[in-house]
Structure 1
Amino acid sequence: MEPTSPDHMIFNCPAENPFRPMTGASNAHLQTILPRLVRRRVTLKPHWQRLTLPDGDFIDLAWSENPAQARSKPRVVLFHGLEGSFHSPYAHGLLQAWKARGWLGVVMHFRGCSGVPNRLNRIYHSGETEDASYFLQWLRDAWGEVPTAAVGISLGGNMLACLMGKQGDDCLLDAGVAVSAPLMLEPCSLRLEQGFSRVYQRYLLGLLKQNARRKLRAWPGTLPVNLAQLGSMRQLRDFDNAITARAHGFIDASDYYRRCSALPLLPQVRKPLLIIHAQDDPFMTPDVIPDPALLPPNVEYQLTQHGGHVGFVGGTLRSPQMWLEQRIPQWLTPWLEN
């Protein structure tokens, strides 16, 4: 983010849980890229499961272990970021950390994000909470009622905050954590069109187009564009105008961004929620920083000076420390183990 006031830098940031960037690697872009370098190897072998949705489509689940053998364990659901999956460094890293704590973790892949195109003429987006709501109810019905939390990363964090705001007291979660969430979508979209952040836009747009091509070849006619139109897109806004908005009933990208930004819903959150942002996140602007006066007491906000976008890598190059894998379990423990 662009520099903010000193008050914002320290606002609601617990002194006992600071983030200290890796020695010599405090740069925002280094922090953003580092997880892919230090978490290249997947050490956890997931248990895969396909869940059929009420409309006949499906989502794929990656569990930290067989849920049938872990019914009584506290559960943590992970909602990944844009075009993320179990193979994203933060995802398998967090699942491994939760398993080590004796918790059952699961990545709920958004439609089409597990490597297999979904069947229907829709995909997923930052405010699409219906699949997550269904999944959380299914989780309780199928595997019993135990302490349950959710962690949302980037797009998944905005979606999680939307869900918790919409559901209020009826939310089935005991607690939630949103990391690097674009809580105001329009300003974040504009930020990705500026300066070095355009590199990230090209990367993300490339992933979206690759996934859309796979879907169009497997299920022709299930997206409101053809391959030629897809190829001509140059910005994420082009994709959201042509596909995200039209496939999900929005007027255009701006309408989608306005209606699916989670920041206005935060005052309605009733369950414990921790929001973590880095001040130097190259995907964000100060617009995502909530006004502390509008937050209910159950919402905790932590703004670190460094960390990039879903980076937060500390320690040294020889011994890197993934701060999120320490901070998130530490914060969730009271809600999952009491």
Structure 2
Amino acid sequence: MDIDWHIKPQSNNKTVVLINHGLEGNSRKKYPLGMARRLTLLGIDAVCMNFRGCSGTPNRLPRLYHSGVTDDLDTIIRHVIKKGYENVFLVGFSMGGNQLLKYLGENPEQVPSQIRAATVFSVPCDLSASSAKLDSTISRIYVMYFMRSLRAKIRLKAKMFPQVVDPRDLNRTWTFRDFDNRYTAPLNGFRDAEDYYAKASCLHFLKNIRIPSLLVQAQDDPFLTPSCFPLEQASKNPNLFLEIPKYGGHVGFHLLDSNNIYWSEYRAGKFLLG
């Protein structure tokens, strides 16, 4: 697993933020880099995580990353804490946000005490519903964009592990559900796509979160369904703060005349650091 550090020279900081990107992103995309730049300007160190195989170096195991992976996240968090950090913040986008919320809620008693707060944006909390929406004709352009890079990863896996990964149906895999049924689920121990969605969706774990966590979901996000706006869970859990701005799209949240700084970067800094 590859991570990028953003640390000022001769820093002896005791506070760090771990930033988690979205589907088929990486630590060098504009949105994690912008978040890292903003939060380091506020005086804390930053670590940008890469999902397995997303840094440009192929993962050396057959397993793929997916929306519900939390063991990798836990490994990186504990690695960072061993560096001497006493305060750890978490920021996640889209799939990375789903991972963070699931991590905080699935075994809350095992979450390291150094984790102080989390902020996530544009999270597909209900993976089954979100996948169905993306697979519809309205959102096909997004699916086509992601499928190009996902297919390339499978072709590489098939060369590395020909006894495990079969690419023969790849060219007939046009939807997320098809891809998850054929590849994500079996390579990661799930029965099928629906089993994966049910077990990996953070929606089922929100009630257990004990760390102050801000979830920001734009009304105009084309990836999200009504079930991705957990109003009931937020009303019952004092540690879960749900904000629903009118605009922002999916991991958008632009500001006019802001020197290329996103509103999400301001919001994360204010919530995490006060």
Fold match by TM threshold 0.5: yes
- SS of the counterpart of 2:244? strand
> 2: distance between equivalents of 1:122 and 1:103?
33
2:190 maps to a residue whose letter is F
> 1: distance between equivalents of 2:154 and 2:39?
32
Counterpart of 1:199? 141
1:305 aligns with 2:207: no
Match of 2:90 among 150, 157, 160: 150
Match of 2:19 among 78, 87, 103: 78
> 2: distance between equivalents of 1:281 and 1:223?
36
Aligned length: 271
1:138 maps to a residue whose letter is H
- Is 2:5–2:46's contact at 8 Å kept on the other side of the alignment? yes
> 2: distance between equivalents of 1:85 and 1:76?
16
Q: Shift of residue 251 of structure 1?
A: 0.7
Counterpart of 2:121? 179
User: Superposition pairs for residues 99-248 of structure 1, below 5 Å?
Assistant: 99-141=40-82, 143-172=83-112, 173-217=115-159, 219-221=160-162, 223-226=164-167, 228-248=168-188
> 1: distance between equivalents of 2:140 and 2:131?
10
Q: Shift of residue 319 of structure 1?
A: 5.2
Counterpart of 1:290? 230
Q: Which runs of 5+ in 2 are unaligned?
A: none
1:250 aligns with 2:196: no
**CA 1:224–1:214 in structure 2 vs 1: closer, same or farther (change >3 Å)?**
closer
1:261 aligns with 2:201: yes
**CA 1:260–1:222 in structure 2 vs 1: closer, same or farther (change >3 Å)?**
farther
TM-score by length of 1: 0.76
- Is 2:39–2:269's contact at 8 Å kept on the other side of the alignment? yes
Q: Deviations over 1:110-163 (max 9, x none)?
A: 11110111011101111110111111112112x113211111110010110000
> 1: distance between equivalents of 2:157 and 2:143?
21
1:270 maps to a residue whose letter is R
Q: Shift of residue 212 of structure 1?
A: 2.4
Q: Shift of residue 223 of structure 1?
A: 4.9
> 1: distance between equivalents of 2:12 and 2:60?
31
- Is 2:20–2:49's contact at 8 Å kept on the other side of the alignment? yes
> 2: distance between equivalents of 1:120 and 1:71?
35
1:313 maps to a residue whose letter is H
Q: Shift of residue 71 of structure 1?
A: 4.3
Q: Deviations over 1:3-44 (max 9, x none)?
A: xxxxxxxxxxxxxxxxxxxxxxxxxxxxxxxxxxxxxxxxxx
Structure with higher Rg: it is 1
- SS of the counterpart of 1:301? strand
TM-score by length of 2: 0.93
Please list every run of at least 4 consecutive aligned residues from structure 1 whose deviation after the TM superposition is greater than 4 angstroms.
318-321
- Is 2:39–2:46's contact at 8 Å kept on the other side of the alignment? yes
2:228 maps to a residue whose letter is V
Counterpart of 2:34? 93
- Is 1:122–1:222's contact at 8 Å kept on the other side of the alignment? no
> 2: distance between equivalents of 1:101 and 1:61?
21
- Is 2:62–2:157's contact at 8 Å kept on the other side of the alignment? no
Provide the aligned C-alpha RMSD in A: 1.9
- Is 1:279–1:303's contact at 8 Å kept on the other side of the alignment? yes
User: Superposition pairs for residues 9-48 of structure 1, below 5 Å?
Assistant: none
Q: Shift of residue 205 of structure 1?
A: 1.3
Q: Shift of residue 222 of structure 1?
A: 7.2
Q: Which has the higher contact order (CA 8 A, sep 6+)?
A: 1
Q: Deviations over 1:155-190 (max 9, x none)?
A: 010110000001314312211112101000000001
1:325 aligns with 2:265: yes
- Is 1:225–1:242's contact at 8 Å kept on the other side of the alignment? no
Q: Shift of residue 248 of structure 1?
A: 0.9
> 1: distance between equivalents of 2:163 and 2:18?
28
> 1: distance between equivalents of 2:14 and 2:39?
11
Counterpart of 1:274? 214
> 1: distance between equivalents of 2:7 and 2:169?
42
